[in-house]
């Protein structure tokens, strides 16, 4: 448990610079490498695409589990402190709170200089939708939605899985999450090939997303935001999304900020009609990006305290 806690604070303090050497980037490169080759092996039918997508998911997940397990096993056999240090670094690399904050704040900083094109470019780096025609409100909404959704994907879900099974289970989660982000689209190219990856991501995020939503409601009170409305919108709008999980925290964030999120968006040049989340109590503004990040951090700290305490309690009970 201690490597998870230390990894959490390392991420907050120094962030996680990405590069080709980074494990999550390595998983992404593995997916790209295998995707092209696996698709050539199977027919371009619905069944062939489904099977090919399942093979891709299996290969990526297995390799993502084996590598950290073997490295940790060898390092702990060589010396306890070597294993402990490596486990801490692995946990640190799985968390993404600091990078989520830094990347989303680039959008806010662009607005501070009045450069909407720079803001569009900054938001294009963290969302999958088309951003070229987004208005200022659209850019802000997209940024806040990303912060809210990735509070689960980048912080709370990794925390839960690492507290259960260390970085090995953490990398399993990130492998599935990366698969979903790369092939889990409901478009013509990936509708069947990415279906298994998308469903696996839904399954692994089902409980963490709801835990994140509840903790975020509590955190909204802690941050001085509209906690009562956060709870109201969470109960009402948390399924206003194609994914059963994404709107859990988006609903809380919309309610806490008293703004409307989601709605129609373009992906790969095609308009997708989506329900809105929240009530239009006030107009959205750039500073809401800072408020969303404050809410993300508060949720992260609350989750660390409560979930680590629960894990410690279970360990004490087990060894009594």
Q: How confident is the model at residue 42 (pLDDT cuts 50, 70, 90)?
A: confident
| Cβ–Cβ under 8 Å, residues 194 and 185 | yes
Mean per-residue pLDDT over the chain, rounded? 91
Angle separating helix axes 23-41 and 157-183, nearest 10 degrees = 40
pLDDT at position 234: 97
pLDDT at position 5: 97
Q: What mean pLDDT is predicted for residues 102-109?
A: 95
> Of the candidates 150, 144, 157, which has an alpha carbon nearest to the alpha carbon of residue 104?
144
Can you give the pTM of this predicted structure? 0.92
Q: What angle do CA 139, 247, 230 make, to 5 degrees?
A: 90
pLDDT at position 19: 62
Q: Evaluate if residue 262 carries a pLDDT over 60.
A: yes
Q: What mean pLDDT is predicted for residues 249-260?
A: 96
Q: How far apart are CA 196 and CA 207, in angstroms?
A: 18
Q: Evaluate if residue 235 carries a pLDDT over 90.
A: yes
Q: How far apart are CA 170 and CA 166, in angstroms?
A: 6
Q: Of the segments 56-60, 183-187, 269-273, which one has the largest average pLDDT value?
A: 56-60
What lies within 8 Å, CB to CB, of 249 at 6+ separation is 148, 149, 151, 152, 209, 212, 213, 216, 299
CB count in 10 Å sphere of residue 315? 11
pLDDT at position 274: 74
- Residue 30's beta-bridge partner residues? none
Q: What mean pLDDT is predicted for residues 93-102?
A: 94
What lies within 8 Å, CB to CB, of 203 at 6+ separation is none
Strand, helix or coil at 131?
coil
Lowest pLDDT segment from 18-22, 39-43, 114-118, 261-265 = 18-22
Lowest pLDDT segment from 201-210, 234-243, 251-260 = 234-243
Strand, helix or coil at 262?
strand
What lies within 8 Å, CB to CB, of 189 at 6+ separation is none
Q: Evaluate if residue 127 carries a pLDDT over 90.
A: no
Q: Evaluate if residue 212 carries a pLDDT over 60.
A: yes
Q: How far apart are CA 10 and CA 160, in angstroms?
A: 17
| Cβ–Cβ under 8 Å, residues 268 and 187 | yes
Q: What mean pLDDT is predicted for residues 38-55?
A: 90
Lowest pLDDT segment from 14-23, 72-81, 298-307 = 14-23
Q: How confident is the model at residue 272 (pLDDT cuts 50, 70, 90)?
A: low
Q: What mean pLDDT is predicted for residues 46-56?
A: 92
> What would the two tokens of residue 198 be?
């998308």
Say which residue the tokens 């997303």 belong to.
209
Residue 62 CA to chain centroid, in angstroms?
21
- Would you give the DSSP letter of residue 17? -
pLDDT at position 20: 60
Strand, helix or coil at 272?
strand
């Amino acid at each position: 448990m201690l490597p998870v806690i230390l990894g959490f604070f390392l991420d907050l303090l120094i962030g996680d610079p990405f590069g080709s050497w980074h494990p999550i980037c390595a998983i992404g490169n593995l997916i790209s490498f295998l995707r092209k080759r696996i698709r050539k092996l199977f027919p371009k039918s619905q069944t062939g695409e489904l099977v090919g997508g399942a093979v891709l998911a299996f290969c990526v997940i297995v390799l993502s589990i084996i590598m950290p397990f073997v490295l940790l096993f060898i390092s702990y056999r060589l010396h306890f402190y070597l294993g402990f240090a490596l486990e801490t670094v692995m946990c640190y690399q799985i968390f993404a709170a600091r990078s989520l904050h830094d990347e989303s704040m680039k959008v806010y900083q662009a607005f501070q200089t009045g450069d909407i094109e720079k803001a569009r470019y900054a938001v294009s780096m963290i969302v999958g939708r088309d951003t070229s025609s987004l208005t200022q409100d659209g850019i802000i909404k997209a940024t806040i939605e990303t912060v809210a959704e990735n509070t689960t994907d980048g912080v709370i879900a990794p925390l839960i899985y690492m507290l259960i099974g260390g970085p090995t289970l953490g990398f399993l989660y990130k492998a599935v999450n990366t698969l979903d982000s790369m092939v889990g689209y409901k478009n013509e190219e990936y509708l069947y090939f990415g279906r298994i990856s998308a469903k696996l991501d839904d399954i692994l995020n089902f409980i963490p997303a709801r835990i994140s939503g509840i903790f975020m409601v509590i955190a909204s009170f802690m941050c001085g935001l509209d906690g009562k409305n956060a709870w109201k919108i969470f109960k009402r709008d948390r399924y206003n999304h194609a994914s059963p999980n994404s709107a859990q925290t988006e609903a809380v964030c919309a309610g806490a900020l008293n703004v409307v999120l989601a709605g129609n968006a373009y992906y790969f040049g095609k308009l997708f009609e989506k329900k809105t989340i929240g009530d239009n109590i006030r107009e959205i503004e750039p500073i809401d990006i800072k408020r969303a990040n404050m809410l993300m951090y508060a949720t992260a700290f609350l989750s660390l305290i409560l979930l680590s305490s629960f894990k410690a309690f279970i360990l004490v009970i087990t060894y009594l």
